[in-house]
Amino acid sequence: MTAPIIFAIPKGRILDEALPLMQAAGIEPEAAFFDKESRALMFATNDPGVQIIRVRAFDVATFVAHGAAQVGIVGSDVIDEFDYSELYAPVDLDIGHCRISVAEPAELAATDDPRSWSHVRVATKYPNLTRKHFAARGVQAECVKLNGAMEIAPLLGLSSRIVDLVSSGKTLKENGLVEVEKISEVSARLVANRAAFKTDARVSELVEKFRGAVSA
């Protein structure tokens, strides 16, 4: 019996926007998936050949790149951070729009000029992406890795600046920070394991279904 395709989807902000696209592509999770009390991580779908795992966004990339899942949905920020060679991103799903930006306290920004930076200490969950961005500008970046609560790092003296996802900018404002530099625009992508995409026709067929759902 052929093993089912494992489809990794992220918890959090992208999920609600992804569900209509999944439905349009013919993938509907079982009822237990929508049970907010459930602690299960793997779910059946209306297609016996597809199972869903629900994991953290950063873990979607890892599961798919290493072949534990064959297909997934993840933000382009995560793709850029890990830069896995085995991660293929054939479809921009046009959801989950936001940006990765550099932010700093408003009082610092009032007299600061990013063009004059030569060294920065930054709190971020994107150390690789951050170093790459600043290296291209000739700026040395010292990164403090955090998984959340980036906005309070400058307030507590952990770093002078942060690099994080920004959508409305409300969280930054409420914590006395302002954007001073945009690194990149972000959207969610359908990703596939390269080997699975080449060798399993079901994976390439699913990719085409999502491509059609996006363009419909």
pTM: 0.92
What is the predicted pLDDT for the residue at 38? 87
Task: Kindly report the three-state secondary structure assignment for every residue of 109-137.
Answer: HCCCCHHHCCEEEEEECCHHHHHHHHHHC
Q: What gap in Å lies between CA 91 and CA 205, rounded to an integer?
A: 13
What is the predicted pLDDT for the residue at 36? 85
**Pairing mode, strands 119-124 and 161-166:** parallel
Q: How many CB atoms lie within 10 A of CB 149?
A: 12
Each residue's pLDDT tens digit, 44-77:
999 999 999 999 999 999 999 999 999 999 999 9
Each residue's pLDDT tens digit, 137-147:
999 999 999 99
Task: Return the CATH number of 98-185, one of 3.40.190.10, 3.40.50.2000, 3.30.450.40, 1.10.3720.10.
Answer: 3.40.190.10
CATH 3.40.50.10490 fits 5-96+187-215, yes or no: no
The pLDDT confidence band at residue 177, using thresholds 50, 70 and 90, is very high
The pLDDT confidence band at residue 162, using thresholds 50, 70 and 90, is very high
**To which residue do tokens 């799903």 refer?**
93
CA 156, chain centre distance (Å) = 27
Each residue's pLDDT tens digit, 30-39:
999 999 888 9
Q: Is the pLDDT of residue 216 over 90?
A: no
Both tokens assigned to 136: 């291209």
Each residue's pLDDT tens digit, 68-104:
999 999 999 999 999 999 999 999 999 999 999 999 9
Mean pLDDT, residues 133-155 taken together: 95
Looking at every residue in the chain, the average pLDDT score rounds to 95
Q: Where in the chain is the domain with CATH 3.40.190.10?
A: 5-96+187-215, 98-185
Each residue's pLDDT tens digit, 105-130:
999 999 999 999 999 999 999 999 99
Mean pLDDT, residues 149-178 taken together: 95
What is the predicted pLDDT for the residue at 144? 97
What is the predicted pLDDT for the residue at 179? 96
